[in-house]
Amino acid sequence: MINGDYSGFDFSCEDGGEALRCSAAEDELTEEGWKIVSCDDEPRFTWSYRLYDPGANCYGGDVLDYTIIR
């Protein structure tokens, strides 16, 4: 999501996949004056995946922590 790079996201879902959901979240952050500046190099697994992506159809998955500034 940094510099508009969505190359690691899944576009295969019927609803447009995680890339479209993340893009919408990024747009909302931008509208509120936030900017994504960095993210962790390694993903971590969580069984609480829906806390990070409410539109996902799974309970567990890998997440990256992003740093945002205003």
Give the whole-angstrom CA distance, residue 34 versus residue 1.
13
Written as six digits, the tokens of 58 are 């799974």
Q: For residue 15, is pLDDT > 60?
A: no
Q: For residue 7, is pLDDT > 90?
A: no
Amino acid found at 42: E
Quick: pLDDT tens for 52-67.
888 788 888 888 898 9
Q: For residue 29, is pLDDT > 80?
A: yes
